[in-house]
Homo-oligomer: A and B are copies of this chain.
Amino acid sequence: MDTATGPHRRQRHRGRRRAGGEDGRVQPIPQLPFRQPRLRIKPLELLSSDELERIHLESLRVLQDIGIEILLPEARDLLKQAGASVAGETVRIGAEIITEALKTVPSQFTFHARNPAHNLQIGADWITFCPVGGPPNCSDAGRGRRPGTLRDAEDFMRLSQYFNIIHVAAGASVDALDIHPSIRHLHLGRSKALLTDKVVFASSTGRERLMDGIELARIARGISHEQLDREPSVHTVVNTNSPLKIDGPMAMGIVEMARRNQPVIVTPFTLSGAMAPVTIAGALVEQNAEALAGIALGQLARPGAPAIYGGFTSNVDMKSGAPAFGTPEYMKACIVGGQLARRYGLPYRTSSTNAANSVDAQAAYETVFSLWGAILGGGNYIIHSAGWLEGGLVASFEKFALDVDLLQMVREFLNPLDIGKDALGLEAIREVGPGGHFFGAAHTLERYEDAFYAPLISDWRNFEQWQSDGAPQAWQKANAVWKRALAEYRRPPIDPAIEEEIEAFVARRIEEGGQPTDF
Residues on A facing B (Cβ under 8 Å): 15-16, 18, 41, 44-47, 51, 54-55, 58, 61-62, 65-69, 90, 145, 241, 243-245, 272-283, 285-286, 315-324, 327-329, 331-332, 336, 355-369, 372, 376, 390-391, 393-394, 402, 406, 409-410, 412-413, 415-420, 422-426, 428-430, 432-439, 441, 443-444, 447-449, 451-453, 455, 457-463, 466-467, 471, 473-475, 478
Cβ contact within 8 Å between A285 and B328 = no
From B54, B362, B406, B467, give the contact of A459 (CB < 8 A). B362
From B278, B285, B416, B459, give the contact of A357 (CB < 8 A). B459
Cβ contact within 8 Å between B471 and A357 = yes
Residue in chain B with minimal CB distance to A69 = B434
Q: Which residues does chain B contribute within 8 Å of A41, judged by CB atoms?
A: 44-46
The 7 A-B pairs of least Cβ separation, nearest first, read A282-B425, A277-B425, A364-B364, A361-B474, A328-B412, A361-B364, A368-B368
Cβ contact within 8 Å between A277 and B443 = yes
CA of A480 to CA of B85 in the docked complex: distance in angstroms?
A: 58
A131 to chain B, nearest CB (A): 18
CA of A69 to CA of B360 in the docked complex: distance in angstroms?
A: 46
Cβ contact within 8 Å between B435 and A281 = no
Cβ contact within 8 Å between B277 and A438 = yes
Cβ contact within 8 Å between B277 and A357 = no
From B275, B451, B455, give the contact of A437 (CB < 8 A). B275
CA of A369 to CA of B412 in the docked complex: distance in angstroms?
A: 12
From B273, B320, B364, B452, give the contact of A362 (CB < 8 A). B364
A-B contact pairs, 30 of them (CB 8 A): A15-B317, A47-B417, A51-B419, A58-B424, A61-B426, A62-B429, A67-B434, A243-B436, A243-B437, A244-B429, A245-B434, A273-B452, A277-B425, A277-B443, A278-B428, A281-B420, A282-B423, A285-B425, A318-B451, A318-B452, A327-B453, A328-B453, A336-B417, A357-B463, A357-B467, A358-B473, A364-B368, A368-B368, A369-B409, A393-B463
Q: Given A413-B328, A463-B357 in contact, is the A318-B448 Cβ separation under 8 Å?
A: yes
Among A61, A319, A336, A390, the one with the most B-chain Cβ atoms within 10 Å of its Cβ is: A319
From B66, B417, B424, B462, give the contact of A46 (CB < 8 A). B417
From B282, B355, B376, B449, give the contact of A460 (CB < 8 A). B355
Cβ contact within 8 Å between A424 and B282 = yes
A312 to chain B, nearest CB (A): 16
Q: Which residues does chain B contribute within 8 Å of A355, judged by CB atoms?
A: 458, 460
A18 to chain B, nearest CB (A): 7
Q: Which residues does chain B contribute within 8 Å of A463, judged by CB atoms?
A: 145, 357, 390, 393-394
A433 to chain B, nearest CB (A): 7
A330 to chain B, nearest CB (A): 9
Number of copies: 2
A125 to chain B, nearest CB (A): 14
CA of A336 to CA of B41 in the docked complex: distance in angstroms?
A: 13
From B273, B365, B391, give the contact of A365 (CB < 8 A). B365
Residue in chain B with minimal CB distance to A54 = B419
Q: Which residues does chain B contribute within 8 Å of A444, judged by CB atoms?
A: 273, 277-278
Residue in chain B with minimal CB distance to A403 = B365
Q: Which residues does chain B contribute within 8 Å of A360, judged by CB atoms?
A: 360-361, 364, 473-475
A64 to chain B, nearest CB (A): 11
Residue in chain B with minimal CB distance to A450 = B318
Instruction: Give 19 new A-B contacts, CB below 8 A, not counting A279-B418, A362-B457.
Output: A44-B376, A55-B419, A244-B435, A281-B419, A282-B429, A285-B425, A315-B452, A318-B451, A318-B452, A328-B409, A328-B412, A336-B417, A355-B458, A355-B460, A357-B466, A362-B474, A368-B369, A368-B372, A393-B462
Q: Which residues does chain B contribute within 8 Å of A51, judged by CB atoms?
A: 419
Cβ contact within 8 Å between B458 and A356 = yes
A370 to chain B, nearest CB (A): 10
A468 to chain B, nearest CB (A): 12
Cβ contact within 8 Å between A282 and B430 = no
CA of A426 to CA of B68 in the docked complex: distance in angstroms?
A: 14
Cβ contact within 8 Å between B369 and A328 = no
From B90, B394, B424, give the contact of A55 (CB < 8 A). B424
CA of A69 to CA of B412 in the docked complex: distance in angstroms?
A: 35
Cβ contact within 8 Å between A426 and B285 = yes
CA of A192 to CA of B206 in the docked complex: distance in angstroms?
A: 67
Q: Which residues does chain B contribute within 8 Å of A418, judged by CB atoms?
A: 279-281
Residue in chain B with minimal CB distance to A418 = B281
Q: Which residues does chain B contribute within 8 Å of A455, judged by CB atoms?
A: 327
A446 to chain B, nearest CB (A): 8
CA of A428 to CA of B394 in the docked complex: distance in angstroms?
A: 33
Cβ contact within 8 Å between B426 and A62 = yes
Q: Which residues does chain B contribute within 8 Å of A390, judged by CB atoms?
A: 462-463
